[in-house]
Structure 1
């Protein structure tokens, strides 16, 4: 009887430590992914962000309906103003305000289909836990970045109401969102999805991004545009 009880306790302990080991492994995996995202996030933003201040095209020549000719005087004045505004934006050293969707979620089914069309997934291990698990991107780690000022998009009105013609407000110039990463088996390469918008519900783009670990540093290997609006 004592022998059976001992075996039972031993099995319970094995099960307990086995569960604990899996929990630790899961935490380690998540921390690894968070570290990779922290390392690659700035390069992703710099590669795909949209700035609503520079999205509108230059003015087109107007036609004087009385003479049926181009109103060159008015057109050149507007074009000059437009070019001055664009030069001012390009030369502005103020940090670029970007609204960030800090929920790092799974890649959507539609994006998964796009991945299959673009990439051979046999080298990648699909982690089913990423379909339910998500985490918050810690923006404080980028607070000293000299080019970008990242703020949680929830601090601002819904981006659908942003005015694309507004170039001087304290609203973000655009938004960024990223998904969780699917890694290959050796964790030297990964796939994630990202999207960028300039607000107003009128312009946005989606991307699949392949990243690789080169000499201990994560870098973007390829960007594939998947949609545009």
Structure 2
């Protein structure tokens, strides 16, 4: 986990400020016989709608340019206590890497471990802070006005390994709001005695 942590943060965490708002409608709504909207006919777009699209694109470019000039660190909340995934990831490990045997540790009691993330140097613009520094109430967690650029929260589960400890899989996710975020499944492999990310699949989106 220590070796892949910087790449996990860069791959999963996002700067929500550059996520584009939905573009204006271009065209005319299409309805079925029951009055349900089933699509948009873009061949019937108006000049006014076309100009709204142009303005939308221009505004998005301006927003991205301004944010890229901002050198502030983006703060991400993280619970350093890593727990086993609530879902058995064995089949995903076998399918992705074609492994035949999966490591099944005989663990008695709590399998949670704590990652010392504060001593892991990150590469990009994100800075990780312990979840305990943030409000416990979920509403206040997202609504509070912080004196820093708060980007969201990230989590990872424990890693499921193959028997030879050459491949692994874990789940993770990033939340940028109460109804904003995504879940991912991360496949990792060992290359020249160093762990690296092989692939990341999206498992959910909000």
> Which residue among 176, 179, 190 is the counterpart of 1:213?
190
Within 5 Å, which residues of 2 pair with 1:42-57?
42-57=6-21
Task: Check the 8 A contact 2:89/2:170 in 1, yes or no.
Answer: no
Task: Check the 8 A contact 1:61/1:70 in 2, yes or no.
Answer: no
Q: 1:224 and 2:201 equivalent? A: yes
Task: Check the 8 A contact 1:130/1:180 in 2, yes or no.
Answer: no
Equivalent residue, structure 1, for 2:132: 154
> Which residue among 165, 168, 183 is the counterpart of 1:187?
165
Greater strand share, structure number: 2
How far off its partner does 1:211 sit?
0.9
How far off its partner does 1:143 sit?
5.6
Which structure: larger Rg?
A: 1
Distance 1:122 1:144, change over 3 A: closer
Unaligned stretches of 5+ residues in structure 2: 27-45
| TM-score, L = length of structure 2 | 0.71
Q: 1:138 and 2:116 equivalent? A: yes
Between the aligned partners of 1:202 and 1:188, the Cα distance in structure 2 is: 36
The number of residue pairs the alignment matches comes to 184
| TM-score, L = length of structure 1 | 0.65
What's the CA shift string for 1:104-158, capped at 9, x where partnerless? 000112x538737854563321224288311122121136755321101232235
Q: Secondary structure of the equivalent of 1:172?
A: strand
Distance 1:144 1:72, change over 3 A: closer
Q: Secondary structure of the equivalent of 1:196?
A: strand
Q: 1:129 and 2:93 equivalent? A: no
Greater helix share, structure number: 1
Q: How large is the Cα RMSD of the aligned pairs?
A: 3.4
Equivalent residue, structure 2, for 1:177: 155
Unaligned stretches of 5+ residues in structure 1: 1-36, 63-67
Between the aligned partners of 1:59 and 1:153, the Cα distance in structure 2 is: 34
Equivalent residue, structure 2, for 1:26: none
